[in-house]
């Protein structure tokens, strides 16, 4: 069974490169370019993993993560958070709001693939 | 010279007194009519009245009227009558008795003594009145000075000044000009007419011009604020006929304005003195008020600047790193062949792009680290630990790189190295920086020695640290050296080496790259550890970079941490935290804390401390200004660990630790004590 990964980031280029890499690995990729759309897609499509950017206009990654993790229906979807900020507070908040893994940009492709495979292996 | 009324019908008496009081020096007014006598008394300044016992039936009535009518000056009242004359009622009102048929010389003497006495009495009364007035003015001045001292508000000070001048010298009209706000304050009982206002504006402009020769006031924007009691009674231009005093309001280095008072009657010398005293009194408080305003404004600006700094670092961090991600990822995708076959030529250039993207990433990270440390925003995690694992880790990490250039990288621990109070990750960064530089600037087959030594402060005293200062409060330091056999550095370049982007101009530095920020960062991080960093080098003789970190005892660690935490916590919201300490410990704690940051006080000594007595346990409370919850927690932990090491075990259990956060809208002293007592009870339960 194919695994669906939802990528939410307001930077289209980042989304495109992640999509390219993950599809090459064999994942199916869904995309969203803002928080609202991302949240909606997560609820509609029930992906197997969500890659979530923190700094987005309107609704940021922390909020989305909190909303999903505190909802029984979605709390089991693993979340990897991406951010360019490296302040300690962000890491703590990230962990508190339920992100499973927290990655800082810029990241290496290998690191991304390895984290994705860890939380959402292709074969169960 | 005396003016005396002789109340008599007798011509003989007239003649007698005309003789006694020669007309050149006195004026003797004769009358036998009571009404005329009273009229003269009212219209002139009479020194004395002599009543002839035979002059009228109801002398006592007249005498009484005279007494009651006495204005500022009381005339003396003498009765000319035979020795055995009886009139109890009359005797009540008279000042003296001129016996009939006594010798002329006696009568004269009596009269003159009465005059002298009267004069003295009147003098005394006048002096008393003056004295009373002076006392009143002094009282006004005293109240004024306490009033002035109680406020830092400029407007209030001017209002207070106007009030005191009003009370102490009672002018008919007062006008005060304040330069800062270009306002003219008018104060009087009657309402000034419109043309008086315009005239006063003009007068202000002229006054100002005379006094502050090179400045002018803008009469168009000159505002008037008036304060008068009677709406329907007006003061017009006749004001300018009144007596007036003009005086400047001066501060130590500039002029604040002027005050002008007008009075219909004349001002006295005391009035002038009083006015000058008031102006002298208001000068310092005004200056303080102005300074206070400046300080408040500066503080607001500083706070805004602090927030901007934090925001800047966050924003830049995000904005710079965001485009780097797709750049690096795209290049990676191409290199891995995921986007199709890559020719060798293409691979070479994509590799180049990737290397430079990494380099850019490093520069950004370094720049941000440097900004954070400089802005005081870098978060450290200090712990007492050994520095040896850090050095071993760095050596092991760089060993492969060194091996590639066939450089011998060694680590030597020279003597007994005690634990240091360090942030191991940051110290690692410092040492890594130095080792990485050493490898870059040492040619193949070279040698790099990393060593670690326990040295005393005295051994370091003759080192030139350039802008850094060695803290001589610490007796011993641990010195970490990174000595290489590389190209060295010219003597004149050494001072600049820790400056930003000062890569030394030589061919090697062009090749090895680097961000040029490594050493400045190392310097900042070293200083954050209370340490110093320096360099010894000669061209072609290699370089020896050295870092000295102080060995701190518990005491010193506590002090350093307290300083750092209190400085940092100022960035957070302002709260007051209270900590309960037991009596005996306060002496030790006191000496561990610097005065301006923390004060432990007894009840009443100042409003920052409260002293509670509960079951024979004395408890001192200390207030930390501008601290937040984190600071309070931290300080309690520190005090606890200090106490654990320094207080005998059997006494340790007597100590209660607690913190209470003081709400933002403040509590009065009484409510505060109440709340603390409640809090204290809860802790014990």
Q: pLDDT for A27-51, tens place per residue?
A: 999 999 998 999 999 999 999 999 9
Are A17 and B338 within 8 A, CB to CB? no
Interface of B with A in 355-374 (CB under 8 A): 361, 368
Q: Which of B33-42, B215-224, B455-464, B571-580 has the lowest mean pLDDT?
A: B571-580
Are B338 and A24 within 8 A, CB to CB? yes
Task: Grade residue B24 by pLDDT with cuts at 50, 70 and 90.
Answer: low
Residue of B nearest to A55 (CA): B318
Option in A17, A86, A105 nearest B322 (CB): A105
For the cut 60, the answer to whether the pLDDT of residue A91 exceeds it is no
Q: Which of A118-122, B10-14, B581-585, B623-627 has the lowest mean pLDDT?
A: B581-585
Contacts of B327 in chain A (CB under 8 A): 106
Are A11 and B322 within 8 A, CB to CB? yes
Please tell me the distance from the alpha carbon of residue B178 to that of residue B491, in angstroms, as a whole number: 61
For the cut 50, the answer to whether the pLDDT of residue B594 exceeds it is no
Please tell me the distance from the alpha carbon of residue B153 to that of residue B292, in angstroms, as a whole number: 9
Largest CA distance in chain A: 38
> What is the model's pLDDT at position B666?
41
Q: Cβ distance B570 to B631 under 8 Å?
A: no
> Six-digit token pair at B14?
């007239």
Higher pLDDT: B50 or B610? It is: B50
Are A14 and B379 within 8 A, CB to CB? no
> Six-digit token pair at B180?
């800062």
Contacts of B339 in chain A (CB under 8 A): 20
**Interface membership of B329 toward A (CB under 8 Å):** yes
* B contact test, residue of A12, A23, A105, A114 with most B CBs within 10 A: A105
The tally of CA atoms less than 13 A away on the side-chain side of residue B475 is 1
Higher pLDDT: B650 or B622? It is: B650
Q: Cβ distance B501 to B516 under 8 Å?
A: yes
Are A105 and B321 within 8 A, CB to CB? yes
Mean per-residue pLDDT, B285-294 = 85
Please tell me the distance from the alpha carbon of residue A118 to that of residue A123, in angstroms, as a whole number: 11
**Interface membership of A10 toward B (CB under 8 Å):** no
Best CA proximity match to A21, nearest among B355, B339, B325, B340: B339
Instruction: Express as a percent the part of chain B with pLDDT over 70.
Output: 77
Contacts of A21 in chain B (CB under 8 A): 329, 333, 338
| Distance of residue A70 Cα from the nearest chain B Cα, in angstroms | 28
- The predicted-structure confidence for B322-370, as pLDDT tens digits, reads as follows 888 899 999 999 988 888 898 998 999 999 999 889 888 888 888 788 7
Instruction: Express as a percent the part of chain A with pLDDT over 90.
Output: 46
Q: Which of B76-85, B159-168, B673-682 has the lowest mean pLDDT?
A: B673-682
Please tell me the distance from the alpha carbon of residue B430 to that of residue B521, in angstroms, as a whole number: 8
- The predicted-structure confidence for B412-454, as pLDDT tens digits, reads as follows 999 889 999 999 989 999 999 999 989 988 888 999 999 999 9
Report the DSSP pairing between strands B420-422 and B383-385.
antiparallel
> What is the model's pLDDT at position A33?
93
Contacts of B329 in chain A (CB under 8 A): 14, 17-18, 21, 106, 109
* A contact test, residue of B309, B322, B373 with most A CBs within 10 A: B322
Task: Grade residue B580 by pLDDT with cuts at 50, 70 and 90.
Answer: very low
Are A13 and B324 within 8 A, CB to CB? no
Interface of B with A in 286-315 (CB under 8 A): 314
Are B329 and A86 within 8 A, CB to CB? no
Contacts of B426 in chain A (CB under 8 A): none
Quickly tell me which residue has 């797709």 as its tokens: B326
- A·B CB contacts under 8 A: 60
What ipTM was predicted for this assembly?
Answer: 0.82
**Interface membership of B71 toward A (CB under 8 Å):** no
- The predicted-structure confidence for B200-221, as pLDDT tens digits, reads as follows 999 988 888 887 777 788 888 8
> What is the model's pLDDT at position B566?
52
Mean per-residue pLDDT, B276-283 = 88
**Interface membership of B336 toward A (CB under 8 Å):** yes
Are B322 and A21 within 8 A, CB to CB? no
Please tell me the distance from the alpha carbon of residue B62 to that of residue B80, in angstroms, as a whole number: 15
Higher pLDDT: B4 or B602? It is: B4
Task: Grade residue B75 by pLDDT with cuts at 50, 70 and 90.
Answer: confident
Residue of B nearest to A10 (CA): B322
Are B328 and A88 within 8 A, CB to CB? no
DSSP string, B143-177: HHHHHHHT---HHHHHHHHHHHHHHHH--SEEEEE
Are B332 and A109 within 8 A, CB to CB? yes
Which of A67-71, B230-234, B392-396, B623-627 has the highest average model confidence (pLDDT)? B392-396
For the cut 70, the answer to whether the pLDDT of residue B493 exceeds it is yes
Are B329 and A17 within 8 A, CB to CB? yes
Task: Grade residue B174 by pLDDT with cuts at 50, 70 and 90.
Answer: very high
For the cut 50, the answer to whether the pLDDT of residue A74 exceeds it is yes
**Interface membership of B332 toward A (CB under 8 Å):** yes
**Interface membership of B318 toward A (CB under 8 Å):** yes
Quickly tell me which residue has 């007798």 as its tokens: B10
| Distance of residue B369 Cα from the nearest chain A Cα, in angstroms | 11
**Interface membership of B106 toward A (CB under 8 Å):** no
**Interface membership of A105 toward B (CB under 8 Å):** yes
Please tell me the distance from the alpha carbon of residue B546 to that of residue B478, in angstroms, as a whole number: 10
Please tell me the distance from the alpha carbon of residue B310 to that of residue B379, in angstroms, as a whole number: 13
First-residue to last-residue Cα distance in chain B: 93
* A contact test, residue of B325, B332, B364, B572 with most A CBs within 10 A: B325
> What is the model's pLDDT at position B625?
46
At residue B28, the 3 state secondary structure works out as strand
> What is the model's pLDDT at position B420?
92
Are A17 and B326 within 8 A, CB to CB? yes
Please tell me the distance from the alpha carbon of residue B82 to that of residue B84, in angstroms, as a whole number: 6
Best CA proximity match to B431, nearest among B485, B389, B378: B389
CA angle at B228 for the pair B224 and B234, rounded to the nearest 5°:
95
Option in B319, B324, B338 nearest A106 (CB): B324
> Six-digit token pair at A34?
């803002």
Q: Cβ distance B357 to B376 under 8 Å?
A: no
Please tell me the distance from the alpha carbon of residue B225 to that of residue B179, in angstroms, as a whole number: 14
Task: Grade residue B617 by pLDDT with cuts at 50, 70 and 90.
Answer: very low
Strands (E), B529-651: 532-537, 543-550, 575-582, 599-600, 611-614, 617-627
> What is the model's pLDDT at position B581?
41
Option in A16, A87, A106 nearest B321 (CB): A106
Are A109 and B333 within 8 A, CB to CB? yes
Q: Is the model's pTM score more than 0.90?
A: no
Average model confidence (pLDDT) across chain B: 78
Task: Grade residue B616 by pLDDT with cuts at 50, 70 and 90.
Answer: very low
Interface of A with B in 32-71 (CB under 8 A): 55
* Interacting residues of B486 by C-beta distance below 8 A, sequence separation 6+: B438, B441, B442, B443, B446, B542, B543
For the cut 70, the answer to whether the pLDDT of residue B659 exceeds it is no
Instruction: Express as a percent the part of chain B with pLDDT over 90.
Output: 19
Residue of B nearest to A107 (CA): B325
- Residue B604, Cβ neighbours under 10 Å: how many? 10
Are A85 and B314 within 8 A, CB to CB? yes
| Distance of residue A73 Cα from the nearest chain B Cα, in angstroms | 32
Are A21 and B333 within 8 A, CB to CB? yes
Report the C-alpha dihedral over residues B190, B194, B195, B196, rounded to 10 degrees. Answer: 30
> What is the model's pLDDT at position B91?
87
> What is the model's pLDDT at position B259?
93
Task: Grade residue B575 by pLDDT with cuts at 50, 70 and 90.
Answer: very low
> What is the model's pLDDT at position B295?
83
Task: Grade residue B643 by pLDDT with cuts at 50, 70 and 90.
Answer: low
**Interface membership of B354 toward A (CB under 8 Å):** no
Q: Cβ distance B619 to B680 under 8 Å?
A: yes
Contacts of B363 in chain A (CB under 8 A): none
Task: Grade residue B263 by pLDDT with cuts at 50, 70 and 90.
Answer: very high
Higher pLDDT: B144 or B681? It is: B144
């Amino acid at each position: 069974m194919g695994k669906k990964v939802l990528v939410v980031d307001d930077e289209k280029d980042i989304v495109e490169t992640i999509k390219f890499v993950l599809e090459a690995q064999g994942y199916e990729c869904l995309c969203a370019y803002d928080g609202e759309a991302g949240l909606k897609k997560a609820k509609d499509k029930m992906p197997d993993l969500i890659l979530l950017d923190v700094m987005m206009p309107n609704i940021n990654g922390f909020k989305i993560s909190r909303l999903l993790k505190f909802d029984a229906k979605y709390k089991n979807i693993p979340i990897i958070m991406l951010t360019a900020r490296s302040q300690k507070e962000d890491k703590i908040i990230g962990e508190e709001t339920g992100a499973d893994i927290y990655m800082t940009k810029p990241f290496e492709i290998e690191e991304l693939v390895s984290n994705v495979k860890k939380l959402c292996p292709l074969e169960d | 010279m005396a003016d005396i009324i002789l109340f008599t019908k007798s011509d003989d008496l007239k003649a007698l007194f005309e003789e006694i009081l020669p007309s050149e020096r006195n004026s003797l007014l004769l009358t036998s009519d009571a009404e005329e006598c009273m009229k003269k008394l009212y219209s002139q300044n009479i020194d004395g009245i002599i009543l002839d016992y035979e002059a009228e039936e109801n002398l006592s009535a007249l005498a009484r009227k005279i007494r009651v009518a006495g204005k500022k000056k009381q005339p003396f009242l003498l009765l000319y009558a035979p020795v055995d004359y009886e009139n109890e009622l009359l005797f009540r009102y008279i000042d003296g008795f001129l016996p009939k048929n006594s010798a002329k010389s006696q009568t004269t003497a009596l009269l003159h003594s009465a005059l002298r006495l009267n004069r003295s009495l009147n003098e005394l009364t006048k002096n008393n009145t003056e004295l009373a007035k002076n006392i009143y003015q002094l009282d006004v001045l005293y109240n004024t000075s306490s009033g002035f001292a109680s406020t830092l508000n400029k407007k209030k000070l001017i209002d207070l000044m106007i009030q005191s001048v009003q009370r102490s010298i009672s002018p008919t009209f007062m006008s005060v000009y304040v330069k800062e706000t270009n306002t003219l304050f008018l104060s009087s009982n009657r309402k000034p007419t419109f043309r008086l206002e315009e005239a006063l504006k003009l007068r202000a402009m002229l006054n100002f011009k005379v006094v502050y020769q090179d400045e002018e006031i803008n009469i168009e924007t000159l505002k008037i604020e008036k304060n008068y009691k009677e709406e329907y009674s007006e003061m017009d231009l006749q004001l300018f006929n009144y007596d007036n005093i003009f005086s400047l309001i001066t501060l130590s280095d500039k002029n604040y304005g002027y005050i002008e008072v007008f009075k219909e009657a004349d001002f006295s010398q005391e009035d002038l003195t009083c006015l000058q005293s008031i102006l002298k009194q208001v000068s310092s408080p005004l200056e303080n008020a102005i300074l206070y305003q400046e300080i408040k404004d500066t503080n607001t600006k500083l706070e805004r600047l602090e927030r901007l700094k934090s925001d800047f670092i966050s924003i830049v961090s995000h904005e710079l790193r965001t485009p780097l991600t797709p750049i690096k990822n795209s290049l990676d995708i191409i290199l891995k062949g995921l986007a199709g076959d890559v020719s060798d030529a293409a691979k070479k250039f994509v590799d180049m792009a990737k290397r430079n993207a990494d380099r850019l990433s490093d520069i950004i990270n370094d720049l941000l680290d440097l900004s954070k440390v400089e802005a005081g925003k870098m978060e450290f995690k200090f712990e007492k630990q050994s520095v040896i694992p850090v050095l071993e880790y760095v050596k092991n990490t760089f060993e492969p790189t060194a091996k590639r250039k066939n450089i011998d990288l060694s680590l030597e621990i020279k003597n007994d190295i005690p634990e240091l109070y360090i942030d191991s990750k940051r110290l690692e960064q410092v040492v890594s920086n130095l080792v990485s530089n050493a490898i870059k600037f040492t040619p193949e087959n070279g040698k790099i020695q990393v060593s670690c030594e326990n040295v005393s402060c005295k051994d370091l005293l003759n080192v030139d640290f350039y802008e850094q200062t060695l803290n001589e409060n610490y007796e011993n330091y641990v010195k970490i050296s990174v000595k290489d056999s590389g190209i060295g550095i010219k003597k004149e370049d050494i001072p600049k080496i820790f400056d930003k982007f000062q890569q030394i101009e030589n061919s090697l530095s062009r090749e090895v790259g680097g961000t040029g920020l490594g050493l400045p960062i190392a310097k900042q991080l070293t200083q954050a550890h209370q340490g110093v960093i320096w360099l010894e080098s000669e061209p072609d003789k290699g370089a020896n970079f050295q870092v000295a970190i102080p060995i701190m005892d518990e005491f010193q660690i506590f002090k350093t941490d307290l300083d750092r935490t209190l400085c940092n916590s100022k960035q957070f919201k302002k709260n007051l935290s209270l900590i309960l300490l037991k009596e005996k410990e306060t002496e030790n704690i006191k000496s561990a804390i610097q005065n301006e940051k923390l004060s432990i006080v007894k009840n009443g000594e100042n409003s920052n401390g409260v002293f509670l007595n509960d079951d024979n346990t004395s408890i001192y409370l200390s207030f930390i200004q501008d601290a937040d919850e984190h600071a309070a927690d931290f300080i309690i932990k520190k005090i606890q660990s200090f106490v654990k090491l320094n207080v005998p075990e059997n006494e340790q259990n007597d100590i209660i630790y607690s913190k209470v956060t003081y709400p933002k809208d403040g509590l009065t002293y009484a409510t505060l004590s109440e709340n603390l007592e409640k809090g204290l009870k809860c802790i014990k339960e």
